[in-house]
Each structure stands twice: as structure tokens, then as C-alpha cells.
Structure 1
Amino acid sequence: MSIQWFPGHMHLTRKAIAERVKSIDVVIEMLDARLPGSSANPLLGEMTGHKPTLKILNKQDMADPARTALWLAHYNAQKDTRAIALDASNTAPAKALVAESRELAPLRGGMAKPLRVLICGIPNVGKSTLINTLMGKRAAKTGDEAGVTRTEQRVALADDCYLFDTPGMLWPRIVVPESGYHLAASGAVGRNAYDDEVVALELIADLRRDYPALLAERYKLTLDAVAASTDDQLLEAVGRQRGALVAGGRVNMTKAAEQVIADFRSGLLGRITLETPEQFLAWLKAGKAADAERQRLKQERQAQRPTGRRPSHR
């Protein structure tokens, strides 16, 4: 199953970012620390060009700290890029982004040349929560569903530092299947774009591979049962343990799936990161190759179609 979600307002956001970035000094991209590669927008680099970039791995308190360290090293090794991890609701580390932005644009600052920062990210990544934390008040709307912020907002972080917030934006075609599942699991994708059961099964497969102990602890299973069961059997076991039953004692698999996804989003499963830099780069390479092959076959089919022009009779 391919997960895709790019509603109409995101086209407007894309245009707004492309226009705003012309006058911006630093671009902040907010990532989900539980899926840093999948939550990085490939369009952003195209739109922002050479602008210095600060990567914020948000929700680090819900992510695997060892894997967060790998991702910070991965991004900090890139040119004109800095990366920090934080929890957007924590005031002290949230304020660090202002200092980091000044480091990335040392020639900006003061009333004559105020620092202009653009913050971008996928839906539901926590931008509005961060802005509210920085301002010490409810300056931006927040929510646990994708697409809460719909308009650009300007926030004065200091007398000489302005931050421009934009609505969350995905990209028109997700070529990495694993990214689609991870984005759906995190809540970055609208509910009508995916099937809960399919996403939950993919999530369980990730947990069985990398965090079997957390899966067993949360749903009162043994490690042997986790290892010996299929993903479907584990989802059914979750449903039974959580009482998601229908007539005849059968498990409502949709309800069980919703429970697994909700537990991941809330952090009740524990500190989890669904991908490492090495894993994501391998998925990206495979996804691009598969997408290129699809495009090649599509072009071949189009070339083989008859033109539809009728022969002329004179």
C-alpha cells in the first residue's frame, strides 16, 4: 500500500515558503526525533537553496537517545547545517534555537539588520507548541491532528529576531514506502490517507525487530511470544489484552490497530526511534530506484499509445 497525502492548502504553503525564503537568513526544519529521515521534507532543500539550516529533532523525550545521537551526528556533518534535539514544551532547550540561528547567520542582528528565521516542518511535528513555549503564551494553535496551522504567522523572538511560522507541509509523492507508514503512525498524515490496520502491522513489525522488550512490556506478553508470533497474531493479542472484542469473542482488529498507533503517538510504548540514518538512506536509495523504474515504464506506455489521429481522406 502506498501512502500519499497532499491536500490543496499544501500547494499554497509551498508557494508561500518559496516566496518567503528569498528574504530569510536561516531556515529551521523541525523533524520528529522518532522518524528524522522520514519527517525531513525533500522539497525544502530545493526551495531554500544555499540557506543555512538548523535541524531540530523534536519530541526527543519520546525517541531512543542512542539513535538520536546517530541522527545528530548525521546532520551536523552536513555543510551549513546544525542539529539539536529538544522537547518543544521544555523552555530552556527551546530557546537554544535562537542562539544556534545567530551562529548560522553571524552577519545578521541588530535593529538595522534583524535576523529573519523561517521555521518549517511536516504536519503535527510540534512547531506550534514550540512557538507557544518560546513566547510563554498560546501564540499559535496546536492540535494532535495534521493540518491545524493553515496560515503563516510572524513571531518576534527578540527585538532583532523574527521567526516566520508556516503551515505543515508534506511533499506530493512519497517514494519511500517505509516513510509513508512512519508518517502515518506519527500523525503527520490525514486519517483518510491510510488504513489503521496496515499501519499498525508495519509498526508492530518495526517494534518486533528493534524493540521487542518494549512491545512485550506494554501488552503483557513474553519475549518468546513476541518472537514466535506473526505481526497479525500480535495485533490480535493486543486486541484481546485491551478488550477490543466483538460478538463471539472475535477481536476488532481496527480497534486494536488504533490502540497500537495511539500508544506510539503518546509515548506509552516507550522511547522509540523507527529508523537509523543507515536504514533510511538504504530505503531512500531503493525508493528512488523503484520510482525511476515506474516513471520509465510510464513513459514507455505513453510512447506506445496510438496518437488517436484519424487518417485523412482526400
Structure 2
Amino acid sequence: MAIQWYPGHMTSARKKAAETMASIDVVIEVVDARLPEASTNPMVRELRLYRQRPCLKVLNKADLADPLTTRAWIEYYGRQDGVHAVALSCKKPGDVARLPSLCQPLAPHRKDNGKPLRMLIMGIPNVGKSTLMNALLKRRIAKVGDEPAVTKSQQTSQLDVRHWLTDTPGLLWPKIEYPSDGLMLAASNAVGRNAIIDQEVAIFLADLLLARYPAVLAARYGLSVEAADDVDAVHVIEAIARRRGLRMRGGEVDLEKAAKALLQDYRNGVLGRISLETPVTRSVMLAGAPATAG
């Protein structure tokens, strides 16, 4: 399934972000620590490179991601020119408070009250940009919701005498090139509900969990999957339905409800600390997986 989602307001939001990029010093790009590259918008990279703006890459939701994998991603981004990466949770004020001091070395010319540091928050929908801005400002100014595309327009605020902050709407890109990226984004609730089929996304997620985190399935759902060669993703969804008593009229297991239960457990973090991609799996995917046609 090729997932595509690009609401109309994102076109104008991209144009406005491109204009604002000319007058800022550092891009704070927020990504999901569980899928850092899949949740990196290539348009953000293009815009900031065009304007030669440095980037603080914020791997948000690090408390939900596999810590060893997150460490590998920090090293991966540390090898990129003009990029500094940090892993944190935007829900922890102490983590967020560090960000202006992390941005400062990226724009050393903005070092006094006469030249305030101007930061631009960018990223895809539902990765925590507005939560980050509210935490930095210590007040609720940006609308927050557990769904993509809540913020529809830019908001600029003065953090203090030395720091200005602009929040932008979540931006996807017109064509998601790799199917697995779309599925990871869908599993993580970064695309609109009308763009996905829950069962297909849940099967993708279950397949990944079988391969990398079988103990999670055993612990959460009581499934004996670690030594079972004949268990596949569909069997996992069916087993969740039976264990939860999710049945349709007539007694058949309700795969749709079971799929939604698995996705919600992942999104809420109750499955534990899980990363959907690593630098190694990303490299393998790019080397071998064909891009979507058209």
C-alpha cells in the first residue's frame, strides 16, 4: 500500500516557511525518534540547504524509542555537515530548556542582545513541534492535539531578549517515495485517517515486531512467537483479537478492531521502547527497495 497525504494548506505553509527561512538563523527540525529518517521531510532539508542554515535535529519521543538505536541515530546525524542532533522528550521541561543553548553554537554570530538568535521549528505533523514551543515559552500558545495537522499557520514569539522562536505547521511532502516510509508514518499517526487502512498498517507493524521485538508481543499479548516459524503478521492480529475477545456478529474475530488495538498500543508506548528503523535498516532499504511508481 502506497500512502500519500498532502492536504491543501501544506502548499501555502511550505511557501511561507521558505520566506521565513531567509530571516532566521537556525532550523530546529523535530522528528520522531522511533523513525528519524522516515519522519524527516526532504523539503525541510532542501529549504535550509538552499539558505545555508544549520540544523538542530531534535529526536523527540526518545522515551518511546529503543535507546541503543537512538544512540546510533545520534552518531549518524553527527557525521552530517551543519547538523547537531539531540534526543529528548518534549514533554520534559528540563530536556526542552536545553535547546536554545544547543542552537547557539550553530549561529555564533548571534551572541548578544543586539543580535537575538532566531530559531524556526519545522517538521512533519504530529511529532511534537507545538508541544516543544509551548514548553520553551512556558505557556500554551500553540494548539496541541493527538492528530496530524493541528497547527495551520506560523506563530512567532519572543522567548527572551536573546531568542525568538517561530513555529510552523506540520509539513509532509507531495509524494512519499518509499512505501515503508508511508507505513511507518501511518503507524506513528503522522498522516490523516483518510489516507490509511488500519489493517494494512497493523500488519506492517506486526511483521516488524515479529522480526525485531518478538518478546514485546509475548509480554503484551501472551503470544508464543519467538520460536514459531509458522507465525506471521496476520496470525498476530488474529491472536490479539481472540485474546481481547474482539469478535463480530456471528463469532468471527474482528481484525479491524484488533488492528486498531495494536496500533494504539504502539502509539501510546505501552509496548515498550520500540524503533521502527535503524541506520542499518535504512541503508538496506535504500539500497534494495524500489521507489513507488508514478
**TM > 0.5:** yes
Counterpart in the other structure of 1:269? 271
Counterpart in the other structure of 1:19? 19
Distance in 1 between residues matched to 2:228 and 2:204, nearest whole Å: 15
Aligned with residue 203 of structure 1, among 181, 205, 208: 205
Counterpart in the other structure of 1:182? 184
Which string of whole-angstrom CA distances, capped at 9 and with x for unpartnered residues, describes residues 266-302 of structure 1? 0011100000012113323445x545xx46xxxxxxx
In the alignment, structure 2 segments of 5+ residues that lack a partner are none
The amino acid across from 2:180 in the alignment is E
Distance in 1 between residues matched to 2:159 and 2:238, nearest whole Å: 49
Residue 95 of structure 1 and its aligned partner are, at CA, apart by: 1.1
Residue 92 of structure 1 and its aligned partner are, at CA, apart by: 1.0
Counterpart in the other structure of 1:58? 60
- Output the TM-score relative to the length of structure 1: 0.90
Counterpart in the other structure of 1:255? 257
Distance in 2 between residues matched to 1:285 and 1:149, nearest whole Å: 35
- Output the TM-score relative to the length of structure 2: 0.96
Residue 129 of structure 1 and its aligned partner are, at CA, apart by: 1.1
Residue 137 of structure 1 and its aligned partner are, at CA, apart by: 2.1
Q: 1:109–1:161: 8 Å Cα contact kept in structure 2?
A: no
Q: 2:178–2:291: 8 Å Cα contact kept in structure 1?
A: no
Answer yes or no: is 1:109 the counterpart of 2:135. Answer: no
Question: Match of 1:119, SS?
Answer: strand
Residue 224 of structure 1 and its aligned partner are, at CA, apart by: 4.5
Counterpart in the other structure of 1:145? 147
Which string of whole-angstrom CA distances, capped at 9 and with x for unpartnered residues, describes residues 9-46 of structure 1? 11011101111000110011101001011001111111
Distance in 2 between residues matched to 1:13 and 1:283, nearest whole Å: 30
The amino acid across from 1:250 in the alignment is E
Distance in 1 between residues matched to 2:171 and 2:226, nearest whole Å: 41
Q: 2:74–2:85: 8 Å Cα contact kept in structure 1?
A: yes
Alpha-carbon distance change, 116 to 224 in structure 1, aligned in 2, over 3 angstroms: closer
| Equivalent residues, number | 292
Q: Where in structure 2 are the equivalents of 1:18-97 lying within 5 Å?
A: 18-49=18-49, 50-97=52-99
Residue 152 of structure 1 and its aligned partner are, at CA, apart by: 0.4
Distance in 1 between residues matched to 2:188 and 2:141, nearest whole Å: 24
The amino acid across from 1:18 in the alignment is A
Structure with bigger helix share is 1
Q: Percent identity?
A: 47
Which string of whole-angstrom CA distances, capped at 9 and with x for unpartnered residues, describes residues 58-81 of structure 1? 000000000000000000111111
Counterpart in the other structure of 1:118? 120
Question: Match of 1:5, SS?
Answer: coil
Counterpart in the other structure of 1:169? 171
When the two chains are superposed, the root-mean-square deviation of aligned CA atoms in Å is: 1.4
Residue 226 of structure 1 and its aligned partner are, at CA, apart by: 5.7
Question: Match of 1:207, SS?
Answer: helix
Question: Match of 2:35, SS?
Answer: coil
Q: 2:214–2:226: 8 Å Cα contact kept in structure 1?
A: no
